[in-house]
């Protein structure tokens, strides 16, 4: 497939170290491969455990959708209905929808400031945050940070009685046989993880270099609810295929549509450095993913300059890309569009122009 040649070229030139790519249509696997290097001279395999980074957010959104489908919460209700202490300092009007669309207006990011603290300590710090209610801030997407997803995790804990990592295991990973997937890796028996776990790198100038902080076992084991998902790309794809109706069901069609249809109009995103439409925990911009000429119906997510997934529901296509190199946002955005252009050409999909 030409896509593999393109990936191999970026590995050879030093732009990337290792990549997993998975593509399916109607639940049937079309491509499942590892290219390049996982760590050092260890080959990237298709079953290597990789870091999904912010693509994890969509799985947490699925947990919220499941609870709403079960009648246990409502995304249009204030967060304080499920977490009364959250209401202080002007936050009583913030809804779950505001958290899911990154438009809550919460000031500060204590979940990042208190990394490695207990979830209870993080929740208390979020309670003390204020809300920016200025006309400029409300509805703006610059509040994409750990705290919004830490707040969703606290809501899940309060509604279900179990932490978000265990809830993901019980409600998504185990039902779908995602046996190598985790929210935060179990600590290794030795000083570091073995060759089954890929190491993250970062590229600014020159060749990619290892990102020591994100590879430390203590970091990898921390269950950041919007950042810590890990597993093979094919297992992340399994959850997306289930949402399309292929494989064991984890969410009904009506709930899926509610969360993956555009919910927030296009706004400039300071983190992504682009205009983006959002569903509830999913990006829904066909132009962002390079699919505008084909269809308006797209949902997906990206992960800190290294990973992304795209679902084309009109064509039953799932594509997952996980690299172990974090690139600057403009570089990653351009790569997404190149990869998708090659993939769409390979699949010979016909859309609006036919």
Residue 27 region, left (φ>0) first, then alpha (ψ -120 to 50), else beta?
A: left
Range with lowest mean pLDDT among 2-16, 157-171, 276-290:
2-16
> Could you tell me if 164 and 60 are in contact, meaning their C-beta atoms sit under 8 angstroms apart?
yes
| Extended strands (E) in 233-336 | 264-269, 274-278, 299-303, 307-312, 317-323, 325-326
Average pLDDT rounded to a whole number, residues 139-159: 80
Q: What distance lies between CA 35 and its chain's CA centroid?
A: 21
CB neighbours of residue 144 within 10 Å:
21
Average pLDDT rounded to a whole number, residues 60-64: 98
pLDDT in tens, 270-307: 666 667 788 999 999 888 898 988 888 999 999 989 99
User: Which domains does the chain possess?
Assistant: 2-53+179-347 (3.40.710.10), 65-164 (1.20.58)
pLDDT in tens, 189-229: 777 899 999 999 998 878 889 988 889 998 899 898 989 99
Residue with tokens 């997993």: 20
Which are the contacts of 9, defined by CB distance < 8 A and separation ≥ 6? none
Give the tokens for residue 317: 């296509």
Share of residues in the chain with pLDDT > 70 (%): 90
Q: Judge whether residue 244 has pLDDT over 70.
A: yes
- CA nearest to 267, candidates 107, 144, 116: 144
CB neighbours of residue 136 within 10 Å:
8
pLDDT of residue 4: 75
Q: Judge whether residue 353 has pLDDT over 50.
A: no
What is the C-alpha to C-alpha distance for residues 335 and 248, in angstroms, rounded to an integer?
Answer: 32
> Could you tell me if 349 and 278 are in contact, meaning their C-beta atoms sit under 8 angstroms apart?
no
Q: Judge whether residue 135 has pLDDT over 70.
A: no
pLDDT in tens, 70-125: 999 999 999 999 999 999 999 999 999 999 988 888 877 776 677 677 888 889 98
Instruction: Give the DSSP letter of residue 158.
Output: H
Range with lowest mean pLDDT among 25-39, 55-69, 192-206:
192-206
- Residue by residue, DSSP assigns 197-259 as B---EE-SSSS-EE-HHHHSHHHHTS--TTT-EEE-HHHHHHHHHHHHTSSS-SS-HHHHHHH
Q: By three-state DSSP, how is residue 128 classified?
A: coil
Residue with tokens 């390079």: 290
What is the C-alpha to C-alpha distance for residues 226 and 150, in angstroms, rounded to an integer?
Answer: 7
pTM passes above 0.95: no
Most confidently modeled of 92-101, 157-166, 191-200, 335-344?
157-166
Average pLDDT rounded to a whole number, residues 39-44: 94
What is the C-alpha to C-alpha distance for residues 49 and 324, in angstroms, rounded to an integer?
Answer: 10
pLDDT in tens, 246-276: 999 999 999 999 999 988 766 666 666 667 7
Range with lowest mean pLDDT among 20-29, 107-116, 301-310, 328-337:
107-116
Confidence of residue 140 (pLDDT cuts 50, 70, 90): low
Average pLDDT rounded to a whole number, residues 316-341: 93
Average pLDDT rounded to a whole number, residues 37-59: 95
Mean pLDDT of the chain: 88
> Could you tell me if 297 and 263 are in contact, meaning their C-beta atoms sit under 8 angstroms apart?
no
CB neighbours of residue 226 within 10 Å:
27
């Amino acid at each position: 497939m030409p896509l593999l040649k393109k990936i191999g070229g970026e590995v050879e030139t030093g732009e990337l170290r290792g990549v997993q790519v998975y593509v399916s249509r109607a639940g049937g696997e079309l491509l499942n491969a590892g290219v390049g290097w996982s760590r050092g001279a260890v080959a990237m395999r298709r079953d290597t455990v990789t870091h999904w980074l912010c693509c994890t957010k969509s799985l947490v959104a699925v947990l919220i959708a499941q609870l709403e489908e079960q009648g246990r919460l409502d995304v249009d209700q204030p967060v304080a209905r499920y977490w009364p202490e959250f209401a202080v300092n002007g936050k009583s009007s913030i809804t779950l929808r505001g958290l899911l669309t990154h438009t809550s207006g919460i000031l500060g990011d204590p979940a990042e400031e208190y990394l490695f603290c207990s979830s209870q300590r993080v929740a208390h710090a979020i309670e003390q945050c204020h809300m920016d209610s200025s006309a400029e801030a409300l509805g703006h997407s610059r509040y994409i940070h750990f705290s919004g997803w830490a707040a969703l995790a606290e809501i899940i804990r309060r509604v279900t009685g179990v932490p978000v990592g265990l809830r993901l295991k019980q409600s998504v990973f185990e039902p779908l046989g995602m046996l190598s997937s985790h929210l935060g890796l179990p600590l290794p028996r030795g000083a570091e993880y073995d060759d089954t776990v890929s190491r993250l790198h970062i590229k600014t100038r020159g060749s990619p270099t290892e990102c020591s902080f994100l590879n430390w076992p203590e970091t990898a084991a921390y269950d950041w609810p919007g950042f810590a998902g890990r597993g093979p790309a094919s297992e992340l794809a399994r959850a997306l295929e289930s949402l399309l109706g292929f494989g064991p069901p984890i969410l009904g069609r009506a709930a899926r549509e509610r969360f993956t249809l555009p919910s927030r109009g296009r706004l400039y995103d300071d983190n992504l450095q682009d205009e983006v439409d959002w569903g509830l925990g999913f990006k829904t911009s066909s132009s962002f993913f390079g699919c505008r000429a084909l269809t308006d119906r797209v949902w997906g997510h990206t992960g800190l300059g290294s990973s992304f997934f795209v679902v084309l529901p009109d064509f039953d296509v799932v594509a997952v890309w996980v690299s172990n190199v974090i690139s600057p946002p403009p570089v990653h955005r351009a790569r997404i569009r190149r990869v998708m252009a090659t993939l769409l050409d390979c699949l010979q999909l016909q859309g609006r122009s036919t």
